Structure 1
Amino acid sequence: MKAFHVELWSIWLSGFVLILLSLYATQRLPSINKDHTSIFKLNKNDVLDSRYLSITIFTAPKPFMDSTGTRQTLAVRSWLALSPHVTVVLFSQHPSVASFASSFDSGLVSVDNDIDFTFLGSPYFHSMIAKSRSFPSDIFVIVDPETVILSGFISTLNHVYKIDRDWLLVASPQNASAQNILQLQKIRKQNWQRNHCHNAERMIMAWNNKDTPLHNGVLPPFIYGKGTHNRWIIHEAISSEFRFVFDASWTITSFNLNNTTFGNSARLDVENRDWEYIGNSHLGEHYGSFFYSEAYYSNLPKLLTCENRYIMFDTKKNVVYPIGHQGRVKLLKEKLFPSRLKENAMHCIDPQKSMRIMLDCSLKDQKKISASLELPFSLESLLSITADRNKTVVLTVAGYSYKDMLMSWVCRLRKLSIENFIVSALDQETYQFSILQGIPVFKDPIAPSDISFDECHFGTKCFQRVTKVKSRIVLKILKLGYNVLLSDVDTYWFRNPIPFLNSFGHAVLVAQSDEYQEQGPINLPRRLNSGFYYAHSDNQTIAAIDKVVKHAETSGLSEQPSFYDILCGKGGSNRVSDNKCVEPETNVTVHFLDRNLFPNGAYQNLWQDKTVKATCLKKGCYIIHNNWISGRLKKLTRQVLSGLWEYDPSTRMCLQS
């Protein structure tokens, strides 16, 4: 009963606040004809009419459920109330977000899921920024999904829009609770200095001209909302000097809704994902100059209003600049800044100067690096998270020399909406790289440690050691009750083969044929490719794979000959047709896949065809294997030049269509 009353109170309060926000935002919405011509005393020709100022607000909300959904709803509605020319883009994969967006008139709120996400659905900040450039807008804004924006936002943007250089605006929201949510007029002034530093990751950021970079260099793959990225980008923007960076917290009324405002959302809380914060900190340490130079929020130039005029106060130089005609930032001169206004400006600025010590929080003070970057998941828990409803997982194994090819493989599966994959990392570098790229990864504790960067291709001793890892992991997963599709990272997927492979049923191991001859049997000796096969988790298949693993352990070759010799017999003695074998002790059937649907790297010389992608699509290929080529660089070059590549290592993002 108590929980019922709490829920009723939450519904009542949220409804009341929605009405209040709507009325308040309507009253505070700047009037172009009145507000801008009389209060700000600008010539009529100098006013930028908000009717022609398009503003796109980007955010990445959590699912619209429970009190989290209530807070996010309040925030989005406050943004739309600012101006009829504000549109909102929500980056999310969750169905509740799409349902929320559909409740608005067409074009006001849209959902975009064509960016990079982690395997748990957290969006990547660098991918959000990159995607924002594809939207036509005068001003671009990124804001926390629970930040309500009220007065001053539109008028501030109208006046800074014509600054005579590109700019980046930041503004820190207040925290609000049920006790002060009704005192909207006072929120901007209450405890602002106390929260300014701590709200860094919830800052509003707005900028003009999408063609000018925000900063020099590469934006790391920060996970959005998990710390570091806002402070990092502000620091790098200041250092790069591509844009004029200033703080507009004093001219924009905004607040972030505390969790206590509308009850507890523990069920939806993901703030305990410590590794995401740790990962962002590691990235901030290794990219740019963020961790090697000092910067202070209090040193940012501050936009203020004084005597009904906008002025810019440079706290570091202790200089005031009026925003004069045509919106340009002018140097302090008598004819542009009369004596009377100078005196009043000093009156406006004195409180700022007195707060400088309180605001003098260093960016570096907030840089906290934890000792290790690890996922808190065992193999068993990763399988339970990633497996599909048929308990099937796609497994790949990779070392650091193949990290780019791994990412191309991952990006391709994500583009095909295949999420039930896991990665076994052969080394610590690959393990941490995969965590930072949002991949469900685990580290094999007994993987070989001396893996060569360039000399671990087919036929090398390194290759022989590495391949034996794969069958051993497959066996372990099968014993845990999951079906496994083992796929090397040098396979390119055209479409999802899992339903087709699963249709072969139990006690059938389905594998790619490595036969290059276009005519004749495809199950000849040593033609079973252990880089792409599907195994059911049943007693017969487990017993057969166990025999393969034991044979490979005593072999001086790779695991591939062990697969054929054990399952098909030495010399092919267990062959029963041109495309099958039957292992006699376990009665497991090995089915060699049709090469027109699953071509290897030598079949029909497809890789030599400049239109290999179009050719495979026409043939109806599920995958094509980039094997039958020696050397990592040659393999990599062939795949990139063929167009069968899905990852940009320079930006650490999947290529977007």
Structure 2
Amino acid sequence: MVINADIVLLNDVMAAMRKVHESFRHWVVTAARWDMPEDFPYSFEREMWAGRGHREHEATIREFVRTHGTLHTYGGVDFWAWNNDDRTPVPLVKETVPPFSYGRGKYDNWLTHEIIASGLREIVDASEAVTAVHVAHSYSHVVESAFTKNAAGLAGKSFWSTRVNSSWELFANIHLAHTHGTYANQKGTPLHVPVKLMNCLEASANFLCLQRRLRPAVCSCEYSSSVAASQTDPKLSAKQQQWTCGSVASTNVTDYTINPIPHTANSSSSSSSSSSAGTGNPANSSSSSSPSSSPVGLPHTMEQLLPVLARRVPDGQGGELQVVTLVAVTAGYAEMLMSFVCRLRSLGLASNLLVAALDEDLYRFAFTQGLPVYYEQASEEVKHMRASECGYGSQCFRHFTKLKSRSVLKVLKAGYSVLWTDVDIVWFTDPLPDLLSYGSGTLPIQSNEPDANLPGTGVRRINSGFYFARADQKTVEAFEAITAHAAATKLSEQPSFYDVLCGEAGELVAAGREECVWKNGLRTVFLDRARYPNGAVHGLWEQKDVSRACAKVGCSILHNNWISGREEKMRRFLMNDMWHYDAERHMCVWEWHGKVPPLVRHGGDGIGRVETSEGAGGAMQRKRVRKQASAAAL
């Protein structure tokens, strides 16, 4: 069963499922809920689940709900219950379920419609037989709960809207509903379900009967004659002199196109709040709006997201820093981004993650995945280059890498410190406390030196894939110099880090220390390669159990570099059980799933497919079944 957390099912749901189970081999039960006001006079804990007599109390509650409540018939669906047959398992739907934001509209209608359209199971509307109670409530708990503030996967206490309607989540859900499967506006309500479960008509009957609807949803007033009140009870329109059974909102897929680029200030300010859900530019999307009182506007911008996501930490000098974890990728690395995000979620470290999209396709992908993402508009300069054609080391590749440090510089100038990480890095622990310990005036950064016996400060041995940049004047000046140096070369951005911070020949390396000192006094500290290893040092990736080997040397992170190309990186992740995203199902992979998922790259970039298969003795073995010519985007 899947059920919304604010729904209470009374015991009559068991009788309903027994009846349906006796009648059909593969089935799904759903129902409209009963809405009750906030001053609902009963406590479910006290009246139903506190000792003897609970059945009598439940009967009292059921009677009260059905005589004083309103059957919610506009389309909201709050639970689905179904049976599982291990001998002949049958899915609910033929379509892959998109990554909806649950509780924000359309996902329930989409799922109900696709169950009906797939025809794999008999779906039954039990609205008249099941008492599903919903008591009106506020959404203050979304902001106030410790879970929202700290839990894995939630992008900060205000990124997820506290209002159920005017929100970016609803916009995304409508977009997903209209672009996946066969859903059309206002389908997928309980009234569209072809079979209805109800009390039998005989007055003395104390059992349930099934009825097949020949024309489902032809009458939205269908429930009105059998319940005390419903949302779609017929009303006489004096103006039109006709009876109506409620009204429904119309959504057009063309109104829910994901636009990565913000409108101008004038167009943004002219949009009305009434149309905010459909334009992609709500009136409250101005960067001056308060993130604590308004949902994040569309499209997401860096300026909007920073104050919402930033993690406040002591700066070691009596003040505090506002820190974001920043990544920047193109669409070619979409699945690797999600695997990285899933890993952070499993560690409870995703709450301050900010994604800079280096092309429009990545923005659209990340937005529909529910990530706090903005489009790096400097990408417009290289928009003519196809990211899928940017092979590793190509001139195109180098142009895109230079956008990373430019993104960091913008965040620093906005007053936010940056924990920069590439998405091909595995995190094992939270690195921020250790990085903060280096103090102000420092730039802790990873070394790319593969030989553990040599200093990490060798010429051009900076790895710009992992570092912590404080939002102070010295660091800003250094990044201005780095971006200017990178813009004047035909190389990627990484050599510019070393040439600026340590000197082209290493002349700024401090004697006897793993650091360089720049002209303004900024100390670039090369991180310990046992705790922050690159992809070659200590031979960690060659170990039979990479995670255990990392734990032995005390890794905080492990970089999957010193290997060419995206496909090889992904293969290495997969072979070492470090891939955490199921691209086919748009889901994170958790240990309790018990199986490594297939990796499927989406999009027309000619990327191959990696699948899983069972080996001898049940051990999971991975093999590449197809590899087409493809090029890494970044």
TM-score, scaled to structure 1 = 0.66
Q: Distance in 2 between matches of 1:233 and 1:647?
A: 22
Q: How does 1:210-229 map to 2 (within 5 A)?
A: 212-229=90-107
SS of the aligned residue for 1:556 comes to: coil
Q: 1:646 to 1:362 in 2, by over 3 A?
A: farther
Contact 2:37 2:136 in 1 (8 A): yes
> Residue 147 of structure 1: CA displacement?
3.6
Partner of 1:482: 416
Amino acid across the alignment from 1:176: M
Partner of 1:439: 371
Contact 2:326 2:354 in 1 (8 A): yes
Question: Do structure 1's residue 385 and structure 2's residue 263 form an aligned pair?
Answer: no
Q: 1:556 to 1:299 in 2, by over 3 A?
A: closer
Contact 2:446 2:527 in 1 (8 A): yes
- What whole-Å deviation, never above 9, does each CA across 1:424-463 have from its counterpart, x for those lacking one? 0111211121122221111111213145444435421122
Partner of 2:78: 203
- Aligned with 2:514 (options 580, 584, 595): 580
Contact 1:435 1:441 in 2 (8 A): yes
SS of the aligned residue for 1:446 comes to: helix
Q: Distance in 2 between matches of 1:300 and 1:226?
A: 25
Partner of 1:315: 213
Q: Distance in 2 between matches of 1:286 and 1:526?
A: 47
- Aligned with 1:302 (options 181, 190, 196): 196
> Residue 560 of structure 1: CA displacement?
1.2
Amino acid across the alignment from 2:365: F
Q: Distance in 1 between matches of 2:132 and 2:172?
A: 29
Q: Distance in 2 between matches of 1:163 and 1:253?
A: 21
Q: 1:164 to 1:301 in 2, by over 3 A?
A: closer
Contact 1:168 1:245 in 2 (8 A): yes
Mean Cα deviation higher: 369-378 or 395-404: 369-378
Q: Distance in 1 between matches of 2:434 and 2:39?
A: 59
> Residue 549 of structure 1: CA displacement?
1.6
Q: How does 1:315-464 map to 2 (within 5 A)?
A: 315-316=213-214, 367-369=251-253, 370-373=255-258, 376=297, 377-390=300-313, 391-418=322-349, 419-447=351-379, 448-464=382-398
Q: Distance in 2 between matches of 1:280 and 1:616?
A: 40
Contact 1:231 1:363 in 2 (8 A): no
Question: Do structure 1's residue 280 and structure 2's residue 280 form an aligned pair?
Answer: no
Amino acid across the alignment from 1:416: L
> Residue 588 of structure 1: CA displacement?
1.1
Q: Distance in 1 between matches of 2:373 and 2:128?
A: 45
Contact 2:510 2:516 in 1 (8 A): yes
Contact 2:582 2:589 in 1 (8 A): yes
Q: Distance in 2 between matches of 1:598 and 1:180?
A: 56
Q: Distance in 2 between matches of 1:605 and 1:361?
A: 70
Partner of 2:119: 241
SS of the aligned residue for 2:22 comes to: coil
- Aligned with 2:496 (options 562, 566, 591): 562
Q: Distance in 2 between matches of 1:653 and 1:614?
A: 26
Partner of 2:487: 553
- What whole-Å deviation, never above 9, does each CA across 1:200-223 have from its counterpart, x for those lacking one? 224332222275422223221111
Structure exhibiting the larger radius of gyration computed from Cα positions: 1
Q: 1:608 to 1:188 in 2, by over 3 A?
A: same
> Residue 651 of structure 1: CA displacement?
1.3
Q: 1:151 to 1:417 in 2, by over 3 A?
A: closer
Q: 1:451 to 1:404 in 2, by over 3 A?
A: farther
SS of the aligned residue for 1:571 comes to: coil
Q: Distance in 1 between matches of 2:132 and 2:400?
A: 55
Q: How does 1:20-39 map to 2 (within 5 A)?
A: none
Question: Do structure 1's residue 493 and structure 2's residue 427 form an aligned pair?
Answer: yes
Partner of 1:27: none
Aligned alpha-carbon RMSD (Å): 3.5
Q: Distance in 1 between matches of 2:434 and 2:141?
A: 41
Q: Distance in 2 between matches of 1:534 and 1:457?
A: 28
Contact 1:567 1:581 in 2 (8 A): no
> Residue 486 of structure 1: CA displacement?
1.0
> Residue 489 of structure 1: CA displacement?
0.8
SS of the aligned residue for 1:572 comes to: coil
> Residue 586 of structure 1: CA displacement?
0.7
Q: Distance in 2 between matches of 1:552 and 1:350?
A: 70
Q: Distance in 2 between matches of 1:266 and 1:515?
A: 46
> Residue 244 of structure 1: CA displacement?
1.3
SS of the aligned residue for 1:587 comes to: coil
Q: Distance in 1 between matches of 2:479 and 2:136?
A: 54
Q: Distance in 2 between matches of 1:582 and 1:180?
A: 67
- What whole-Å deviation, never above 9, does each CA across 1:170-209 have from its counterpart, x for those lacking one? 111233337998996475478978x41x1x2243322222
Contact 2:412 2:476 in 1 (8 A): yes
> Residue 298 of structure 1: CA displacement?
4.6
> Residue 652 of structure 1: CA displacement?
1.1
Q: How does 1:474-623 map to 2 (within 5 A)?
A: 474-577=408-511, 580-623=514-557
Q: How does 1:65-144 map to 2 (within 5 A)?
A: 140=1, 142-144=2-4
Q: Distance in 2 between matches of 1:263 and 1:485?
A: 32
Gaps of 5+ in 1: 1-139, 319-347
Instruction: Give the ranges of 4+ consecutive aligned residues of structure 1 lying more than 6 Å apart after TM superposition.
Output: 178-184, 189-193, 262-268, 292-296, 355-365
Partner of 1:252: 130
Contact 1:523 1:578 in 2 (8 A): no
Contact 2:40 2:135 in 1 (8 A): no
Aligned residue pairs: how many? Answer: 481
Q: Distance in 1 between matches of 2:434 and 2:183?
A: 50
> Residue 295 of structure 1: CA displacement?
6.5
Partner of 1:232: 110
Partner of 2:401: 467
Contact 1:201 1:229 in 2 (8 A): no
SS of the aligned residue for 2:256 comes to: coil
Q: Distance in 2 between matches of 1:144 and 1:295?
A: 17
> Residue 649 of structure 1: CA displacement?
0.9
Q: 1:643 to 1:253 in 2, by over 3 A?
A: closer
* Fraction of identical pairs, as percent: 34
Amino acid across the alignment from 2:466: F
Q: Distance in 1 between matches of 2:544 and 2:521?
A: 43
Q: Distance in 1 between matches of 2:199 and 2:392?
A: 69
Partner of 1:48: none
> Residue 351 of structure 1: CA displacement?
5.8
Q: Distance in 1 between matches of 2:104 and 2:389?
A: 38
Partner of 2:561: 627
Greater helix fraction, Structure 1 or Structure 2: 1
Q: 1:578 to 1:654 in 2, by over 3 A?
A: farther
Q: Distance in 1 between matches of 2:546 and 2:143?
A: 48
Question: Do structure 1's residue 648 and structure 2's residue 572 form an aligned pair?
Answer: no
Q: Distance in 1 between matches of 2:527 and 2:141?
A: 49
Q: Distance in 1 between matches of 2:434 and 2:388?
A: 35
Contact 1:457 1:632 in 2 (8 A): no
Q: Distance in 1 between matches of 2:455 and 2:8?
A: 68
Amino acid across the alignment from 1:435: F
